[in-house]
Amino acid sequence: MNHIDTDVTAHQIGPLVIMRGTATPSYRVAHPECFGRFTVVALSHAKAIRKCMRRVALMCAANAAREQADREASACE
């Protein structure tokens, strides 16, 4: 299980929620570049949190796919 430290500030401006913050893993993770600063605009706090989690998940999936492609390319050489 990964533990992630976050520092988040959320502002509601009319119907929009603007969430800004940073996420850093507190333990060694496979893709530290998936974490960092983020800004999300959504219609509720829950949607903003889901958007942030989805963004990290998509970045980690993309990095894992690149690493796998690199491993396969080096195995063919």
- pLDDT, residue 3, reads 63
Quick one: average pLDDT of 12-18?
A: 90
Total-model pTM = 0.61
Where does the pLDDT of residue 4 fall: very low under 50, low under 70, confident under 90, or very high at 90 and above? low
Q: What Cα–Cα distance (Å) separates residue 47 from each residue in 12, 21, 35, 42, 55?
A: 13, 15, 19, 6, 12
Q: What is the mean pLDDT of residues 51-63?
A: 78
Answer whether residue 1 shows pLDDT above 70.
Answer: no
pLDDT at 36 over 80: no
